[in-house]
Chain A
């Protein structure tokens, strides 16, 4: 994911803040994984230097993302920007929880 891909796929980063009250518990994690799985790009989530795949539920839960946590989302692939837009939207919508 961090290594350069053979084709000239775009790579994009975005810093976001978790906004829902209960943070990244199982339901939001499942929503995020479902969304991330719809894109061709490799997507990772990073917090305090720990980077996990956006397709790993155990990885996401291990990050212990709570309300106010800052994360860096990185997407690499042909639809990197669309992926980041969609994920940013989901997080900013507070995972439709509140």
Chain B
């Protein structure tokens, strides 16, 4: 389990909507730190067995734990909970909206540990909360680029300011694709090693078009024109056409861009007057999808050529 540092407050904010979290007690102590990205059911600990007890994790008291605690005489219940809280756990979550036992609240006050509750059943809570913690802990960067979801393919356009990223995005939206983020994309690496792009909370759904200013994309183009987040499949580098620069003409040389330690396929597209960049990007994305499915047109044609030309020689 990787070491991390997430405050209970951050966890609460991130999981509040998905898990319906509420603070029951200890609101002043939300700065306590979660150092392991998993959720623990402290069943064994409540029986008094503390070997290998993962004290750095969020502790959940679900139906079984609660029933067990109820089965104990009050003094023993207090003692066992005291043992648990004494280990400086980050916080306790009660699932199924259980009422906190008085002994639990006493311990929370004594050890300055927050108690939260969720209406979810324990398993569901563990799944959603683990995902929330993973997302919080995922390495992330803010990246200068506009991201589009194009028929299930995540495309991040990068290039010098004024090269036309937003205008190209607009053209792609008009062709029925969805905007993920304009100009600044938040990228994070999830636990599977995929790069996920999304917009910053404040600017989500907006874009800036030179000469027009800021526009609200779903108001103009409908809700389908926006997508909250998208896995990144292809980086498209837009650059001013430079006659000195030799652009890849075959597609045999695969380019990549390393983002958060992950190599993402990339293409460089020269922007010149009269080129329909949106259309070129559409094709680049489809071609990338084809490659992911195992068909590399450039490679296949080349193999066919080599075969044919070599056979000609023998003939």
Chain A residues proximal to chain B, CB less than 8 Å: 21-27, 29-30, 33-34, 37, 57, 61, 64-68
Contacts and interface: CB of A to CB of B under 8 A. Distances in A.
Contacts of B248: 30
B306 A22 contact: yes
B210 interface: no
A27 B248 CA distance: 11
Contacts of A33: 249
Contacts of B301: 26, 61
B310 interface: yes
Contacts of B28: none
B246 A29 contact: no
Q: Closest 9 A-B residue pairs measured CB to CB? A: A23-B309, A66-B309, A26-B302, A25-B305, A66-B312, A67-B313, A26-B250, A34-B246, A30-B250
14 contacts: A21-B313, A23-B310, A23-B312, A25-B306, A25-B309, A26-B252, A27-B250, A29-B250, A30-B249, A33-B249, A34-B249, A57-B250, A66-B309, A66-B313
A14 B298 CA distance: 30
B67 interface: no
B249 A68 contact: no
Interface in B131-162: none
Contacts of A64: 305, 308-309, 312
B241 to A, nearest CB: 13
Nearest to A29: B250
Contact of A37 (B246, B298, B310, B312): B246
A68 B250 contact: no
B311 to A, nearest CB: 8
A4 to B, nearest CB: 25
Interface size class of B (residues with CB under 8 A): 10 to 19
Contacts of A26: 250, 252, 298, 301-302, 305
A22 B250 contact: no
Contacts, number: 55
Chief secondary structure at chain B's binding surface: helix
Contacts of B302: 25-27
Given A22-B306, A25-B302, A64-B308, A30 B252 contact: yes
A58 B298 CA distance: 12
Contacts of B312: 23, 64, 66-67
A21 B250 contact: no
Q: Which of B249, B252, B298, B301 has the most CB of A within 10 A?
A: B249
A67 B310 CA distance: 7
Contact of B310 (A27, A29, A34, A66): A66
A22 B307 CA distance: 8
A30 B305 CA distance: 14
Contact of A57 (B246, B249, B313): B249
Interface in B268-315: 298, 301-302, 305-306, 308-310, 312-313
A37 B247 CA distance: 11
A25 B304 CA distance: 9
Contact of A22 (B246, B252, B298, B310): B310
B249 A67 contact: no
Contacts of A29: 249-250
Contacts of A25: 302, 305-306, 309
Contacts of A67: 309-310, 312-313
A68 B313 contact: yes
A27 B309 CA distance: 14
